[in-house]
Structure 1
Amino acid sequence: MSETLASDPLADALIEALGPEAVFTGEAALEKAQGAWMRLGSPRAVVFPRSTEEVSAVLKVAHRLGVPVVPWGGKTGLAGGATADAAIALSLEKMNRIEEIDVASATMTVEAGCILQVACEAAEAQGLLLPLDLGARGSATIGGNISTNAGGNRVVRYGMMRDMVLGLEAVLADGTIVSSMNRLMKNNTGYDLKQLFIGAEGTLGVITRAVLRLRSAPLSQNTAYVATEDFDSIPRLLRMLESALGGGLSAFEVMWPAFYTLVTTPPANGTPPLPHGHPYYVLVEALGGDEAADAERFERVLGKALEDGLIVDAVIAKSQAERAKMWALRDDVGQVNRKGPAITFDVSLRIADMPAYVAEIDGKLRARWPDVDNYVFGHLGDGNLHVLVWTGETGPEVKKAVEAIVYGPLEAIGGSVSAEHGIGLHKKAYLPLSRSEAEIALMRTLKRALDPKGILNPGKILDVA
């Protein structure tokens, strides 16, 4: 319910636009600001529009009064992109409909507030696949996935969220609705306007609807854990699997031993599918179209990898329950907070640079904090590593020191400070390590052109003034 004062022009205008049941202020707004991992600031109001037109009405009010607007999806982001201090928090939670699934064209039209898992299950019910898959599938929304250009577990085969979006609808800072709901695979008619909003974290417009490209649902799913004795074997194994599995490789998740041990020892629920003590563990998955033939080929290919010395051990899931347990280990990231909150990173770099990079940051971390826990794992098939660090100390200076160690080497090797989680607030200071001055200047030009008053998710990604 709304807690407002009659003299508050912002609350009055929002209630007039949406109705009192869709506007929360005061203590009610603060209660809504609790995210999955952190509090998302102290918003002046939290609103729940039910249509693109109502989103437009909110932005017209905000634009007229000069009040910032911060879009909210599933509130599971890790980069501070949804922090809404002294702003209108615009939740897309009520805009969660799947409008259409076109089986013939393999497309889905969906509102931005739809939960990813709901969209995936709806596609599956029609014999189709929405390929995006990530740990927060049960809470992340399609709009948030698009706004951060989410990646997840299957990028090696299907690409990032950007590769799944055919068209979208967005509302600009002044309330103008830009409907670019393209349903065509090929459409070379001028600027591809949707790209302005994908990965922009709500700083250029609020995404309200989208047309997503679907794929045929796989008829087979084969999953295994394998172990390697050295890092050099990992890229060789990756390329061998890509070729030998006929393009069916869909996931290639590598775990350094500290992370593997963490998620397979108490109090974690998981048990180790392979013995502890190997230098690297890889979760491999292939999707295909012939259950019996694909299973035979998967086993044969892993046997050849074992014979050739690319792997030294392997275990193949024999049921969906076993596959689920294997993936549960990979997704059990919360274990890193056993001793206290870890500092999390999401970086991208060439596979060839990974061993030296991990060795460098690990050495620098241990030189300062001898008892540090440094957990490394990630979607290595697409160059994405997650680094999670627990030092035993807390505070902004500790966090800044760890960030300098983890981000510092990336500039020289052409790496990225954000592979798939966005920049938000937390990585803004490090954007110049991965983007040139000319690129950042162009970003500012776009921001000023589309949001001249600077009200859309201000202060996120980069400073404009």
Structure 2
Amino acid sequence: MDITTSVESPDDLLAALRQRLGPQAVLIGAEVPARNCNDWSATLPRTPLAVVRPTDAAGVSEAIATCRKAHLPFVPQGGLTGLCGGAAPEAGWVAISLERMVGIEEIDRACATMTVKAGTPLEAIQKAADDAGFFFPLDLGSRGSCAIGGNLSTNAGGNRVIRYGMTRELVLGLEVVLPDGTVITSLNKLLKNNAGYDLKHLFIGSEGTLGIITRVVLRLFPKPRSTMAALCGLKDYAAVVALLDAARGGLGPLLSAFEVMWPDYWEVITTRAGVRAPVGAGHGCYVLIEAQGTDESIDAPRFQSWLEAVMERGELADAAVAQSLAQVKAFWAVRDICADFGQVLGPHIAYDIGLAVARMDEFVTRCKTALAADIAGCESVYYGHIGDGNLHLVAWVKDLPVERQPKETMDAIIYGLVREIGGSVSAEHGIGTLKKQWLGHARSEAEIALMRTLKNALDPDHLLNPGKVI
């Protein structure tokens, strides 16, 4: 459908849309909930003109048609757990929320797939897969709140990328509504389908700037029957890289997670957060290794034997092995405590970057030194998934509220080093608005120009989530 040349009254059009979709589907003015004014990023909340809450793709298409007639920008919203402003509205926009598009439509046992609505929380998908005897491996700290449509839109990573890949590797098909309101339904279940362009990859990772995802076909995997974990202390980062190589070779497909924590992280969680760690302090790095298999009688002895061989070669300074699933969860709590850094550290700025594994320790050393030298009182801690090239860090100046934290200086130091080392300014959280000015540090001018070409082709009027990413 072509945009009308004359702009109609937004109030009249939204009232008509409410008449068609129902009073609970369109919230206007003072009815707009505070939650729809921002995502989890630190940007200033902005109240949209209205929140439209469709229940299917046809409703999304109607909402888009209304916005286009009134020439109103519109932004898709899922669980609103994004960290870069990708789902945040501006005043005068319309938020199209998928919060009522929730549910598991089908589990196909023969194809090992699940078809779900885009607003379904990740945790609900994990549970449905588990109840059906399958495993859905995507896992994030916000699992109870984030929606699968948002996971696709940001190409979320999480804890098990080293084994299962990013979110795009877990998707076979999708339904999406284009910026002109056209509904594209391609709920493919085939692993092998080379019939023309694989269009789903246009929308996965595009942060809701090229279309609004409404339904998804997800890949399911065999449910793990055994889970092993070890928390290790190592003398230095070179030993970490050697251990990663040994884990890949010795554990093979069993290896499901490889998390690394630097000593500054360890000091914060054990002295400030009160974590009782299963290994002592004083090591150069700490590693959490998880392995998952399908036969505990075989997998657990194999894991134990591999770990003993590594220790005998002197590659570990210390290690604790989980003896139960409860201990596995306790080990993960050491790594997941970073979700509570707001309470532990106070106001801080969080970063998510991608780097070559071999150069991560160089980055940590140089970044920590530069932040402390250039920003008076600046502290920082470092941790990450590492096995998939993803480093997280948080930086802060004590006793400063978040709005007074020297974020611009921090950004320049951190992203400048990322560019120098040849990394990415975003490993798994996206670009949104908060990282937009730094996109050129990770993408070439030609790549960004092609992104703009795609955006202009699909959304020539720039009404869908304008100003995000590029």
Structure-1-length-normalised TM-score: 0.95
Q: Give the partner amino acid of 1:421.
A: H
Match of residue 313 from structure 2 = 308
Match of residue 371 from structure 1 = 377
Mean Cα deviation higher: 329-338 or 187-196: 329-338
Q: 1:94-135: CA deviations, max 9, x gaps?
A: 111100111111101011001101101111111111110111
**Cα distance in structure 2, aligned partners of 1:32 and 1:280:** 39
8 Å Cα contact 1:17/1:58 also seen in 2: no
Match of residue 3 from structure 1 = none
**Are residues 401 and 371 of structure 1, via their aligned partners in 2, closer, same or farther at CA, if it must alter by over 3 Å?**
same
1:95 is aligned, of 76, 101, 104, to 101
Match of residue 3 from structure 2 = none
Match of residue 440 from structure 1 = 448
**Cα distance in structure 1, aligned partners of 2:31 and 2:347:** 27
**Cα distance in structure 2, aligned partners of 1:360 and 1:304:** 34
8 Å Cα contact 1:345/1:386 also seen in 2: yes
Q: Does residue 325 of structure 2 align to residue 320 of structure 1?
A: yes
Structure 1 residue 40: Cα displacement: 4.4
**Cα distance in structure 1, aligned partners of 2:169 and 2:292:** 18
Match of residue 195 from structure 2 = 189
Match of residue 413 from structure 1 = 421
Please state whether the residue corresponding to 1:108 is helix, strand or coil: strand
**Cα distance in structure 1, aligned partners of 2:25 and 2:129:** 30
Q: 1:290-340: CA deviations, max 9, x gaps?
A: 102211111111111111122111111111111111112211223432342
**Cα distance in structure 1, aligned partners of 2:170 and 2:60:** 24
Structure 1 residue 395: Cα displacement: 4.1
Q: How many correspondences in the alignment?
A: 456
**Cα distance in structure 1, aligned partners of 2:428 and 2:262:** 20
Please state whether the residue corresponding to 2:130 is helix, strand or coil: helix
**Cα distance in structure 1, aligned partners of 2:416 and 2:225:** 44
Q: 1:50-102: CA deviations, max 9, x gaps?
A: 11110111011112221111111111111111110121111111111100111
Counterparts of residues 279-428 of structure 1 (less than 5 Å): 279-337=284-342, 338-392=344-398, 393=400, 394-395=402-403, 398-428=406-436
Please state whether the residue corresponding to 1:33 is helix, strand or coil: helix
Q: Does residue 461 of structure 2 align to residue 458 of structure 1?
A: no
Structure 1 residue 27: Cα displacement: 2.5
8 Å Cα contact 1:30/1:43 also seen in 2: no
Structure 1 residue 14: Cα displacement: 2.8
Match of residue 28 from structure 2 = 25
Structure 2 spans left out of the alignment, 5+ residues: 1-8
Please state whether the residue corresponding to 2:253 is helix, strand or coil: coil
Match of residue 174 from structure 1 = 180
Q: 1:130-164: CA deviations, max 9, x gaps?
A: 11011111111110000000010000010000000
8 Å Cα contact 1:351/1:383 also seen in 2: yes
1:68 is aligned, of 73, 84, 97, to 73
**Are residues 277 and 449 of structure 1, via their aligned partners in 2, closer, same or farther at CA, if it must alter by over 3 Å?**
same
Q: 1:241-286: CA deviations, max 9, x gaps?
A: 1111132100000011221232233544x31111122111111000
**Cα distance in structure 1, aligned partners of 2:12 and 2:467:** 24
1:431 is aligned, of 413, 435, 439, to 439
**Cα distance in structure 2, aligned partners of 1:256 and 1:46:** 43
Structure 1 residue 397: Cα displacement: 7.7
Q: Does residue 116 of structure 2 align to residue 110 of structure 1?
A: yes
8 Å Cα contact 2:228/2:290 also seen in 1: yes
Q: 1:182-221: CA deviations, max 9, x gaps?
A: 1100000011110110000000000000101111111110
**Cα distance in structure 2, aligned partners of 1:108 and 1:43:** 33
Match of residue 219 from structure 1 = 225
8 Å Cα contact 1:262/1:336 also seen in 2: no
Structure 1 residue 28: Cα displacement: 2.4
Quote the sequence identity (%).
Answer: 48
Q: Does residue 19 of structure 2 align to residue 11 of structure 1?
A: no
Match of residue 132 from structure 1 = 138
Q: Does residue 63 of structure 2 align to residue 58 of structure 1?
A: yes
Q: Does residue 150 of structure 2 align to residue 144 of structure 1?
A: yes
Match of residue 449 from structure 1 = 457
**Cα distance in structure 1, aligned partners of 2:71 and 2:378:** 46
**Cα distance in structure 2, aligned partners of 1:175 and 1:254:** 45
Structure 1 residue 408: Cα displacement: 0.3
**Cα distance in structure 2, aligned partners of 1:442 and 1:81:** 20
8 Å Cα contact 2:10/2:70 also seen in 1: no
Please tell me the root mean square deviation across aligned C-alpha atoms, in Å.
Answer: 1.6
**Cα distance in structure 2, aligned partners of 1:246 and 1:333:** 28
Please state whether the residue corresponding to 2:271 is helix, strand or coil: coil
Please state whether the residue corresponding to 1:21 is helix, strand or coil: coil
**Cα distance in structure 1, aligned partners of 2:332 and 2:30:** 39
**Cα distance in structure 2, aligned partners of 1:96 and 1:108:** 13
Structure 1 residue 353: Cα displacement: 1.1
Please state whether the residue corresponding to 1:412 is helix, strand or coil: helix
**Cα distance in structure 2, aligned partners of 1:281 and 1:370:** 28
**Cα distance in structure 1, aligned partners of 2:319 and 2:246:** 16
Structure 1 residue 10: Cα displacement: 4.0
Match of residue 156 from structure 1 = 162
**Are residues 272 and 353 of structure 1, via their aligned partners in 2, closer, same or farther at CA, if it must alter by over 3 Å?**
same
**Cα distance in structure 2, aligned partners of 1:167 and 1:110:** 11
Please state whether the residue corresponding to 1:261 is helix, strand or coil: helix
Please state whether the residue corresponding to 1:278 is helix, strand or coil: coil
Q: Give the partner amino acid of 1:25.
A: I
